[in-house]
Amino acid sequence: MIPTRRFAAIGDIHAEDRRLDVVLTWLKSQAVDAILSVGDLADGAGDLDRCCALLRARGVVGVRGNHDRWFYEDPFRHSEVGPAALRHLAELPPTRRLSTLRGDLLLCHGVGEDDMIRLRPGEDVGRAGLAQAALAVLLADTGLRIVVGGHTHERMVRSFPRQAGPPLVFINPGTLHRDFAPGFALVDLERGVVEFHDVDERPGSALAIGLTETHSLDP
């Protein structure tokens, strides 16, 4: 299998089917090796059934978020979606590991196996005990070079040094949730660049994609 060189990362979707459709359509012209989803498909104002169908149709590589877990663990909510969407949510794992040009990538929702841990831009991880402990597990895995996670709805590229070897880079693509700053990330591992793109609401209810920030993967 050829290691991933260029990929898109979609943050917490929260049933935003219109924005998801626009993003996936735009990505068809971007020559990406993979499209990753950090989870939290459930709980939003849009159409969860359609979100699951769009993700399946494009072969998006996804993991389970805490909202997806809560949704599936509550049998009283199962009637809110059709059987295909319910099956999609049931089959989402907590993490996935992919081979990339720069080493292994871990796809998760929070930090590693814990979908409730928040890692924020500029936060002193030493003061956040759970985040520090979860991050220490990932740092000890020397084959792991990149983590793509979500949960906070905040875009982020952070580099965490190791005592020996290359640092661990954590990327959060943000969210598609309409009440935040909807967008996603495009990651080029050959160029060492992360591009954050907005999904803006324009006059007449049209949605448009625009580049807003560029970050380096290298310290």
CATH number, domain containing residue 193? 3.60.21.10
Q: Cβ of 139: how many Cβ atoms within 10 Å?
A: 16
pLDDT at 2: 77
Q: Cβ of 27: how many Cβ atoms within 10 Å?
A: 20
Residue 99 in any domain: the answer is yes
For 199-219, how does the pLDDT look when each residue is reduced to its tens digit (9 = 90+)?
A: 987 766 688 899 999 999 987
Domain count, the chain: 1
CA-to-CA distance for 100 and 144, rounded, in angstroms? 10
Residue 68 in any domain: the answer is yes
For 148-198, how does the pLDDT look when each residue is reduced to its tens digit (9 = 90+)?
A: 999 999 999 999 999 888 999 999 999 999 999 999 999 999 999 999 999
CA-to-CA distance for 29 and 152, rounded, in angstroms? 29
Residue 12: name the closest of 122, 215, 153, 131 by CA.
153
Record the tokens describing residue 39, joined without a space: 């989870």
Residue 81 in any domain: the answer is yes
pLDDT at 128: 60
DSSP state of 67: H
How long, in residues, is the chain? 219
Q: Is pLDDT of 21 > 70? A: yes
Residue 207 in any domain: the answer is yes
Residue 1 in any domain: the answer is no
Residue 62 in any domain: the answer is yes
Residue 21 in any domain: the answer is yes
pLDDT at 27: 97
Owner of token pair 């979500």? 150
Read off the pTM: 0.96
For 41-83, how does the pLDDT look when each residue is reduced to its tens digit (9 = 90+)?
A: 999 999 999 999 999 999 999 999 999 999 999 999 999 999 9
Higher pLDDT, 210 or 1: 210
The parent domain of residue 25 ranges over 6-216
Q: Are 80 and 48 in contact (CB under 8 A)?
A: yes
CA-to-CA distance for 66 and 174, rounded, in angstroms? 15
pLDDT at 203: 65
pLDDT at 126: 65
Higher pLDDT, 141 or 123: 141
Q: Are 92 and 68 in contact (CB under 8 A)?
A: yes
CA-to-CA distance for 177 and 184, rounded, in angstroms? 11
Residue 206 in any domain: the answer is yes
For 81-133, how does the pLDDT look when each residue is reduced to its tens digit (9 = 90+)?
A: 999 999 999 999 999 999 999 999 999 999 999 999 999 998 887 666 788 89
